[in-house]
Amino acid sequence: MNDRIQEIRERLEAASPGPWTIYEYSDYRGYEVHKYPIGYKSAITGWGKVLQTKEDASLIANAPTDISYLLSEVERLQTALEFYADEKTYETNVVDQWGPVTKIDFDSGERARTNLSHLKG
């Protein structure tokens, strides 16, 4: 894992644990993001520091779970790519009676297809 991803993971782990939620003021002042359950000292955006749009609040409230998901995806894809980047994957077994075979011959792109299918949902 590269240093930038590790720094992001550390900031995520140091933040208040989720779930976070959106609090809408009844007087139309805007929105705050709170740790759940909402109560004393639960505001993430700070007392009186109101977000003007629900979309901004939604982005912030969902950041911990979204970032966690994206970091997991990066890690999963990095692991899959390491298989194809490893020079040993391409070493030939010349002892096999059926001819030269490499690990890549056995895989036939299966790891790549599996990981790509996760991305497509």
Q: Convert the pLDDT of each residue in 52-86 to its tens digit.
A: 677 778 878 888 888 988 898 888 888 888 877 77
Residue 17 sits at φ, ψ, to 5 deg, of: -65, 150
Q: Is residue 81 part of a domain?
A: no
Is the same domain home to 97 and 51? Answer: no
* Alpha-carbon distances, residue 77 vs 1, 22, 67, 113, 118 (angstroms): 11, 32, 15, 11, 10
Report the pLDDT value the prediction gives residue 52, as an integer from 0 to 100: 62
Is the same domain home to 2 and 60? Answer: yes
How many domains, the chain? 2
Is the same domain home to 21 and 65? Answer: yes
Question: pTM for the complete prediction?
Answer: 0.59
Q: Convert the pLDDT of each residue in 1-17 to its tens digit.
A: 578 788 888 888 887 77
